[in-house]
C-alpha cells in the first residue's frame, strides 16, 4: 500500500521532516505536550497499564475486593489445564476459529465473484447488472449491532414463536414443530456459527469485490481468450491475486471468532446446553465479575491472548509455506 | 501477464462462436442472480419478520409467528421507549458515542500527525506499541481496567465510559491516519511556517483540513465500532440508569425471560436498528468506500 508514494521521484515527505532542528518555543513545547502527551497519557492509563497489570494478576490468587493477593506463580495456569469447563470453552473457540472464517470467506468470495464477473456479455468479463442492490443488502448486517443480530436470531430460533420452526413445519417437516435449535447440544453450536457467519459475510463480500475490481481487466481477458471459463478464472486468477486480502480476512475473522462473546451472550448467555457454545471470554467474564476470582480470570485472559497470537502466527506461516510471497510479487507485477 | 492488442484480436478470432458464448454468459448471469437473490432474502427476511412482529401482541407472537399483525400496535413502541427504558439508553448512547467520537478523532489526529511528521526519540516505539494495542484482546485488560476506573472514581459513570472508549479506539485511529499525514507533501508545512504560522495553527488550519477524506473514513468506522460496543459497558457501566443501548437491549431480552413483552422487545430491536439502517442507506456509497480503504490495509 505504501509503495506508490515512495516511488515518486524526488518526492518524499520524509526528507523535509528530518531536515533541521527547530528552536524550542512555547508554541512548540505546548504543541508537543498536548498533541503527543495527552493521547499518550490516556493510552497508557487505560490500555497499556491494564494489559501489563493483567500479566501480574494472573500470577496471584486475588479473589475479591477486600482480600489481599498472594503471588502464586503459575498455579492459576496449572489449574486452568485441569478445568474441564474452561477446556471445553477453549475447544469451542478453536472450532469457531476454524469453521467460521472458512465458511465466511468461501461464501463471501463466491458472492463477490458472482457480482464482479458473473455478468452476461461476449467480449470482456463484466460485472452483474444491478449488483449495487445485492451489495447494499448484503452489507446490512455490518451496521446492525452484533448484540441485536444475536437477539433477532435467538427469536428466529425459538421453538413455538420463532419463524424457523414455523417455516420448516409449513413445508412439511413436522419433526421441527417445537425444535429448540439453541437448546439442543447437537445444533446449538452450528446455529450460533450460522448467526456469526450471517453477520460477517456481507462485510467481506464488499472487501473482496473491491479487491477483485482492483485486478487489471486484461488479466481476466487474457484468461478468457486462453479458453478459461468463469469458474476456472475465479479459482486460478481471482483467488491467487487477492491472496493477501484473503489472509487479512482470515485473521480478522479468526480473532472475531475467538472473541464471539457478544453473539454467544445474545444467543445463549449460560453457555448453551452442556456448555456446547461456551467460549473463553464468557467463562472469563463470569469468573471475574460473578465469582470475583480476579487472578484466575486474568490467567484465562492471558491464555486467550496467547491463542489469538498463535492463531495469527499460524495463518501467516501457512500462507508463507504455500507460496504466498511469490504470487504476491507476481500479482503486483 | 500483459496482453498486447495484437494477440488479443488473434485469440478472439480463434475462440468459440460468439453466439454460443453469449448464451453461456446469460446462463451464468441468471445463476448468479438467483444465488444473490437467495442470499439477499436470507438477510432481509429476519429483519422484515422483526418489523412485522414489532406490531403484534405477545399472544400473536407466541401463537403464530408467520401471521401478519392484526393491527398496527404502535403502543409496543411506546412501551419499549418508556417502560423498557430504550429511550433513556438511546440518549445515553448518543451522549457516550458522540463525545467519544469527537474526542478520539481530535486526539487521534493530533497523535498521528506528530508520529507521522516529527522525528524524536521513541517515535517508533510509541507507534509500535499502539499497533500492539490493536492486536491484544480487550478481554485480557478488562479486569484490571475495572479497577483502574474504580480507583479514578470513574466506574459506572458516563465520562468513565467515554474515556475508555476513546482509549481503545485510539490505536486504530492513529494507525489509520498515520499514513494520511505521512503522505502530505512537506512543502506545505514549510510554506505555512514561512507564512508565520505556529505548530498549532499549521495543524488546525492547514494539515487537518487536508486529511479530511481520511478523517471521514475513520469517523465512520469508529462510529459503528463504538455504537456496537458491548463488552466495555457491560463490565464497566453496571448502573442500569447509565446503560447504553446494546447492554440495555441484552438485559431487556434476558431479564424478563418468558414473561417478556414480545411486541415491545421486537419494537426495541426496530428502534435500535432503524436509525443506523437509514443512515447506512443514505451514506452507503461513502461507507463502503471507507470500509474497503480501511479494511484492506
Give the model's pLDDT for residue A14: 45
Going by pLDDT thresholds of 50, 70 and 90, the confidence category of residue B12 is: very low
What pTM does this model have? Answer: 0.86
In CATH, B87-260 is 1.10.3720.10? yes
Convert B127-177 into a string of H (helix), E (strand) and C (coil). Answer: HHHHHHHHHCCHHHHHHHHHHHHHHCCCCCCHHHHHHHHHHHHHHHHHHHH
Q: Is the pLDDT of residue B297 over 90?
A: no
What value of ipTM does the predicted structure carry? Answer: 0.86
Give the model's pLDDT for residue A12: 42
Q: What span, in angstroms and rounded, lies between the C-alpha atoms of A116 and A62?
A: 56
What is the dotted CATH code of the domain comprising A84-322? 1.10.3720.10
Predicted confidence (pLDDT) per residue in B158-203, tens digit: 999 999 999 999 999 999 999 889 888 888 888 898 888 888 999 9
Q: Specify the DSSP class assigned to residue B120.
A: -
Residues of A in contact with B28 (CB under 8 A): 118, 120, 230
Share of chain B above pLDDT 90, in %: 46
Higher pLDDT: B34 or B1? It is B34
Higher pLDDT: B64 or A211? It is A211
Q: What span, in angstroms and rounded, lies between the C-alpha atoms of B291 and B218?
A: 9
Give the model's pLDDT for residue B212: 87
Residues of B in contact with A296 (CB under 8 A): none
Closest CA to B231 of B140, B133, B104, B294: B140
Going by pLDDT thresholds of 50, 70 and 90, the confidence category of residue A4 is: very low
Neighbours of A72 (CB within 10 A): 18
Give the model's pLDDT for residue B262: 84
How far is B220 from chain A, CA to nearest CA, in Å? 11
Give the model's pLDDT for residue B103: 97
- All three cell numbers of A36, joined, read 503527543
Query: What does the radius of gyration of chain B's CA atoms come to, in whole angstroms?
Result: 26
Predicted confidence (pLDDT) per residue in B244-259, tens digit: 999 999 988 877 555 6
A54–B15: do the CB atoms touch at under 8 Å? no
Share of chain B above pLDDT 70, in %: 88
Going by pLDDT thresholds of 50, 70 and 90, the confidence category of residue A34 is: very high
Predicted confidence (pLDDT) per residue in A134-157, tens digit: 888 999 999 899 999 999 999 999
Give the model's pLDDT for residue A81: 94
φ, ψ at B68 (rounded to 5°): -80, 155
Give the model's pLDDT for residue B21: 57
Q: What span, in angstroms and rounded, lies between the C-alpha atoms of A11 and A9?
A: 5
Predicted confidence (pLDDT) per residue in A227-263, tens digit: 877 778 888 888 888 888 899 899 999 999 999 999 9
DSSP SS3 for A125: coil
Predicted confidence (pLDDT) per residue in A47-70, tens digit: 999 999 999 999 998 876 656 778
Residue A278: exposed, middle, or buried by beta-carbon count in 10 A (0-12, 13-18, 19+)? buried
CB A245 within 8 A of CB A211: yes
Higher pLDDT: B60 or A296? It is A296
Going by pLDDT thresholds of 50, 70 and 90, the confidence category of residue A16 is: very low
Option in A13, A123, A218 nearest B183 (CB): A13
Q: Is the pLDDT of residue A200 over 90?
A: yes
Helices B262-295 and B18-53, axial angle in degrees (round to 10): 140
Residues of B in contact with A297 (CB under 8 A): 143
A35–B167: do the CB atoms touch at under 8 Å? no
Give the model's pLDDT for residue B10: 37
DSSP SS3 for A29: helix
Predicted confidence (pLDDT) per residue in B111-126, tens digit: 999 999 998 899 999 9
Q: What span, in angstroms and rounded, lies between the C-alpha atoms of A265 and A147?
A: 8
Q: Is the pLDDT of residue B87 over 90?
A: yes
- All three cell numbers of B206, joined, read 492547514
Q: What span, in angstroms and rounded, lies between the C-alpha atoms of B63 and B231?
A: 35
Closest CA to B182 of B121, B120, B115: B115
Option in B43, B111, B141 nearest A47 (CB): B141
Q: Is the pLDDT of residue B73 over 50?
A: yes
Q: What span, in angstroms and rounded, lies between the C-alpha atoms of A39 and B110?
A: 8
Q: Specify the DSSP class assigned to residue B259.
A: G
Give the model's pLDDT for residue B99: 97
Q: Is the pLDDT of residue B95 over 90?
A: yes
A114–B32: do the CB atoms touch at under 8 Å? yes
How far is A190 from chain B, CA to nearest CA, in Å? 17
Give the model's pLDDT for residue A10: 41
Give the model's pLDDT for residue B233: 96
Q: For residue A269, how far is the Cα from the chain centroid? A: 21
Q: What are the boundaries of each domain within chain A?
A: 84-322
Residues of A in contact with B11 (CB under 8 A): 225-226
Closest CA to B85 of B223, B265, B236, B278: B265
Disruptive mutation site among A26, A47, A316 for chain B (greatest number of B CBs within 10 Å): A47
Q: What are the boundaries of each domain within chain B?
A: 22-74, 87-260
Q: What span, in angstroms and rounded, lies between the C-alpha atoms of B190 and A157?
A: 62
Share of chain A above pLDDT 70, in %: 86
Q: Is the pLDDT of residue A331 over 80?
A: no
CB B143 within 8 A of CB A298: yes
Q: Is the pLDDT of residue B89 over 50?
A: yes
φ, ψ at A60 (rounded to 5°): -120, 170
Q: Sign of the CA dihedral A32, A33, A35, A40? A: positive
Give the model's pLDDT for residue A1: 38
Residues of A in contact with B151 (CB under 8 A): none
How many inter-chain contacts (A to B, CB under 8 Å) are there? 327
Mean pLDDT across the stretch B138-159? Answer: 94
A36–B114: do the CB atoms touch at under 8 Å? yes
Mean pLDDT across the stretch A271-286? Answer: 94
Convert B221-241 into a string of H (helix), E (strand) and C (coil). Answer: HHHHHHHHCCHHHHHHCCCHH
Closest CA to A85 of A271, A268, A225: A271
Mean pLDDT across chain A: 84
Amino acid at each position: 500500500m505504501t509503495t506508490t508514494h515512495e516511488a515518486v521521484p524526488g518526492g518524499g515527505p520524509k526528507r523535509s521532516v528530518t531536515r533541521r532542528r527547530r528552536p524550542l518555543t512555547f508554541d512548540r513545547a505546548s504543541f508537543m505536550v498536548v498533541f503527543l502527551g495527552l493521547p499518550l497519557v490516556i493510552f497508557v492509563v487505560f490500555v497499556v497499564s491494564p494489559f501489563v497489570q493483567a500479566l501480574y494478576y494472573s500470577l496471584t490468587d486475588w479473589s475479591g475486593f477486600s482480600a489481599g493477593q498472594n503471588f502464586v506463580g503459575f498455579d492459576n495456569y496449572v489449574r486452568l489445564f485441569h478445568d474441564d469447563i474452561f477446556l471445553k470453552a477453549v475447544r469451542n473457540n478453536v472450532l469457531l476459529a476454524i469453521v467460521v472464517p472458512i465458511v465466511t470467506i468461501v461464501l463471501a468470495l463466491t458472492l463477490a465473484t458472482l457480482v464482479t464477473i458473473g455478468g452476461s456479455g461476449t467480449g470482456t468479463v463484466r460485472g452483474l447488472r444491478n449488483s449495487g442492490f445485492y451489495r447494499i443488502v448484503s452489507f446490512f448486517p455490518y451496521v446492525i449491532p452484533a448484540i441485536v443480530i444475536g437477539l433477532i436470531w435467538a427469536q428466529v430460533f425459538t421453538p413455538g414463536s420463532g419463524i424457523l420452526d414455523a417455516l420448516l413445519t409449513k413445508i412439511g417437516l413436522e419433526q421441527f414443530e417445537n425444535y429448540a435449535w439453541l437448546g439442543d447440544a447437537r445444533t446449538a453450536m452450528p446455529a450460533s456459527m450460522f448467526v456469526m457467519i450471517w453477520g460477517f459475510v456481507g462485510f467481506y463480500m464488499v472487501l473482496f469485490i473491491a479487491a477483485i475490481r482492483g485486478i487489471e481487466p486484461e488479466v481476466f481477458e487474457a484468461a478468457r481468450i486462453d479458453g478459461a471459463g468463469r469458474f476456472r478464472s475465479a479459482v486460478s486468477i481471482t483467488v491467487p491475486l487477492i491472496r493477501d486480502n484473503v489472509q487479512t480476512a482470515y485473521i480478522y475473522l479468526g480473532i472475531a471468532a475467538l472473541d464471539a462473546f457478544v453473539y454467544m451472550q445474545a444467543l445463549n448467555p449460560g453457555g448453551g446446553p452442556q456448555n456446547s457454545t461456551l467460549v473463553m471470554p464468557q467463562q472469563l467474564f463470569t469468573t471475574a465479575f460473578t465469582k470475583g476470582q480476579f487472578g484466575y480470570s486474568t490467567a484465562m485472559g492471558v491464555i486467550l491472548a496467547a491463542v489469538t497470537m498463535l492463531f495469527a502466527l499460524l495463518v501467516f506461516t501457512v500462507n508463507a509455506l504455500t507460496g504466498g510471497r511469490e504470487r504476491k510479487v507476481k500479482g503486483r507485477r | 501477464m500483459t496482453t498486447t492488442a495484437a494477440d488479443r484480436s488473434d485469440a478472439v478470432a480463434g475462440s468459440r462462436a460468439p453466439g454460443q458464448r453469449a448464451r453461456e454468459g446469460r446462463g451464468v448471469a441468471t445463476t448468479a442472480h438467483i444465488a444473490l437473490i437467495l442470499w439477499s432474502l436470507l438477510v432481509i427476511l429476519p429483519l422484515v419478520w422483526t418489523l412485522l412482529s414489532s406490531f403484534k401482541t405477545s399472544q400473536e407472537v407466541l401463537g403464530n409467528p408467520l401471521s401478519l399483525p392484526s393491527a398496527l400496535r404502535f403502543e409496543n413502541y411506546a412501551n419499549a421507549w418508556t417502560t423498557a427504558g430504550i429511550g433513556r439508553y438511546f440518549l445515553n448512547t448518543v451522549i457516550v458515542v458522540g463525545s467519544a467520537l469527537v474526542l478520539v478523532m481530535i486526539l487521534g489526529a493530533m497523535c498521528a500527525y506528530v508520529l507521522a511528521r516529527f522525528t524524536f526519540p521513541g517515535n517508533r516505539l510509541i507507534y509500535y506499541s499502539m499497533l500492539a494495542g490493536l492486536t491484544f484482546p480487550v478481554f485480557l485488560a478488562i479486569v484490571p481496567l475495572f479497577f483502574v476506573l474504580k480507583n479514578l472514581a470513574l466506574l459506572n459513570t458516563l465520562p468513565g465510559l467515554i474515556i475508555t472508549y476513546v482509549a481503545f479506539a485510539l490505536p486504530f485511529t492513529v494507525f489509520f491516519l498515520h499514513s494520511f499525514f505521512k503522505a502530505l507533501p512537506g512543502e506545505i508545512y514549510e510554506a505555512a511556517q514561512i507564512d508565520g504560522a505556529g505548530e498549532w495553527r499549521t495543524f488546525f488550519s492547514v494539515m487537518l483540513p487536508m486529511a479530511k477524506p481520511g478523517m471521514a473514513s475513520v469517523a465512520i468506522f469508529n462510529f459503528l465500532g463504538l455504537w456496537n460496543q458491548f463488552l466495555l459497558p457491560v463490565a464497566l457501566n453496571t448502573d442500569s440508569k447509565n446503560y447504553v443501548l446494546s447492554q440495555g437491549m441484552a438485559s431487556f431480552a434476558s431479564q424478563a425471560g418468558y414473561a417478556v413483552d414480545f411486541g415491545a422487545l421486537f419494537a426495541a430491536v426496530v428502534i435500535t436498528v432503524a436509525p443506523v439502517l437509514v443512515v447506512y442507506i443514505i451514506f452507503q456509497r461513502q461507507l463502503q468506500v471507507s470500509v474497503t480503504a480501511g479494511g484492506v490495509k
